[in-house]
């Protein structure tokens, strides 16, 4: 059968996952005020696939870099992703009770602590890149910080979320669909692989191709996310399914239908393999190929 069933994600990336988990545990040791830190810990240490930091770390390693080069930025990226989930789940946004199979932060704590825990995580993230990266020139780190600040705000997460919010009940269109998802999902995926290459000291040409791989992978990931929202259960998913349609969201199934979305997904997989063929002379691509398959076949 597939590579995926032969070597599951958690086994293949055991070292990456362990290093990321240890890093996150270390930076989230409880301090005062305790409720803030407990809420931050709940939002970050409650499971999650860690696909963005795995992508960043793997891309760095596959281009000749080290864990020490990658971990500060990988950890920062996961904090930003987790903050965005905490805020996305709030009653004023998607109003969700369940995330990663557990109560959302505002349900387990309170709405104000959920807002503030998210604020603290995003604020902390940038300093971690400075304080916890080893062996990378300062000039490179400045570019990484600048790129993440945009991907986490007005050229990524926040503009995508605003488009997503404003377009609920709007007429579905391809242009709007891609605008939303390039922002709210693909920007952080693009950053993951772009930064992995940067931190490893790769050439600009390869770093740009890595960014393209990440962006395409992000869109593929979102197509699967949308399909799972239609077809899966809350037990498998760890969050409430069926919410996109209920909220009139612009999703891949809303624009292309279910079979149409699967077809678009296949097209993305072909393009991803093309990008990897172009990357192959410059780096070890085996694990990035595997991650394409993982994204395509994931169930949660
Ligand atoms: C699931 O990630 C999340 C996404 C597919 C992205 C959703 C985007 C937002 C919620 C944007 C929110 C933005 C703001 C500004 C509030 P995952 O499957 O990797 O989750 P995991 O970490 O639980 O595995
Ligand atoms: Mg949402």
* Cα(90) to centroid(ligand 2), Å: 10
42 within ligand 1 shell (Cβ under 6 A) = no
Ligand nearest to the CA of 96: 2
88 within ligand 1 shell (Cβ under 6 A) = yes
Separation in Å, CA 134 to CA 31, 123, 227? 25, 21, 40
- What does the pLDDT read at residue 55? 98
Q: Over pLDDT 70: what percentage of the chain?
A: 98
Are the CB atoms for 32 and 40 separated by under 8 Å?
A: no
Read off the pLDDT of residues 52-86 as tens digits, 9 standing for 90 and up. 999 999 999 999 999 999 999 999 999 999 999 99
Give the residue whose CA is nearest to atom 22 of ligand 1: 48
- What does the pLDDT read at residue 4? 53
Read off the pLDDT of residues 125-149 as tens digits, 9 standing for 90 and up. 999 999 999 999 999 999 999 999 9
251 within ligand 1 shell (Cβ under 6 A) = no
The model carries a pTM of: 0.97
Q: Over pLDDT 90: what percentage of the chain?
A: 89
Read off the pLDDT of residues 214-242 as tens digits, 9 standing for 90 and up. 999 999 999 999 999 999 888 888 888 88
Give the residue whose CA is nearest to atom 23 of ligand 1: 48
- pLDDT higher than 50, residue 43: yes
The residue with greater pLDDT, 197 or 1, is 197
Q: Report which ligand 1 atom has the smallest distance to the Cα of 188.
A: 6
- What does the pLDDT read at residue 239? 87
Mutate which of 119, 185, 190 to test ligand 1's pocket (most atoms within 8 Å of Cβ)?
185
Go through 33-57 and write b for each residue having 16 or more CB atoms within 10 A of its CB, e for each that does not: eeebbbbbbbbbebebebbbbbbbb
- The set of long-range contacts for 182-186, using a CB threshold of 8 Å and a minimum separation of 24, is 182/215, 182/218, 182/219, 183/155, 183/156, 183/157, 183/158, 183/159, 184/84, 184/156, 184/157, 184/160, 185/160, 185/218, 185/219, 185/221, 185/222, 185/225, 186/214, 186/215, 186/216, 186/218, 186/219, 186/222
What confidence category does residue 247 fall into, taking pLDDT thresholds of 50, 70 and 90? confident
What confidence category does residue 1 fall into, taking pLDDT thresholds of 50, 70 and 90? very low
43 within ligand 1 shell (Cβ under 6 A) = no
Please list all protein residues whose beta carbon sits less than 5 angstroms from ligand 2, which is an ion. 88, 94
User: Who's near 15: CB < 8 A, 6+ residues apart?
Assistant: 67
Q: What is the mean pLDDT of the segment spanning 100-113?
A: 97
Read off the pLDDT of residues 187-196 as tens digits, 9 standing for 90 and up. 999 999 999 9
């Amino acid at each position: 059968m597939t590579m995926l069933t032969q070597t599951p994600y958690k086994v293949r990336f055991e070292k990456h996952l362990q290093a990321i988990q240890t890093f996150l545990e270390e930076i989230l040791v409880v301090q005062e005020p305790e409720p803030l830190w407990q809420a931050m810990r709940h939002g970050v240490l409650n499971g999650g696939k860690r696909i963005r930091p795995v992508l960043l770390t793997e891309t760095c390693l596959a281009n000749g870099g080290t864990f020490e080069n990658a971990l500060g930025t990988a950890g920062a990226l996961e904090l930003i992703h987790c903050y965005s989930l905490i805020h996305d789940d709030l009653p004023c946004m998607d109003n969700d009770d369940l995330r990663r199979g557990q109560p959302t932060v505002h349900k387990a704590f309170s709405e104000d602590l959920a807002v503030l825990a998210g604020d603290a995580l995003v604020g902390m993230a940038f300093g971690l890149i400075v304080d916890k990266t080893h062996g990378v020139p300062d000039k490179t780190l400045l570019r990484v910080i600048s790129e993440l600040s945009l991907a986490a705000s007005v050229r990524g997460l926040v503009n995508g979320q605003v488009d997503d919010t404003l377009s609920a009940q709007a007429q579905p269109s391809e242009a709007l669909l891609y605008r939303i998802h390039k922002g709210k999902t693909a920007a952080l995926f693009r950053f993951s692989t772009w930064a992995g290459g940067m931190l490893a000291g790769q050439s600009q040409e390869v770093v740009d191709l890595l960014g393209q791989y990440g962006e395409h992978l992000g869109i593929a990931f979102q197509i699967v996310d949308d399909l799972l929202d239609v077809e899966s259960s809350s037990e498998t998913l760890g969050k409430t399914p069926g919410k996109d349609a209920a909220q009139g969201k612009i999703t891949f199934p809303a624009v292309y239908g279910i079979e149409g979305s699967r077809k678009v997904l296949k097209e993305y997989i072909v393009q991803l393999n093309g990008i990897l063929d172009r990357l192959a002379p410059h780096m070890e691509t085996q694990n990035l190929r595997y991650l394409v398959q993982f994204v395509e076949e994931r169930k949660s």
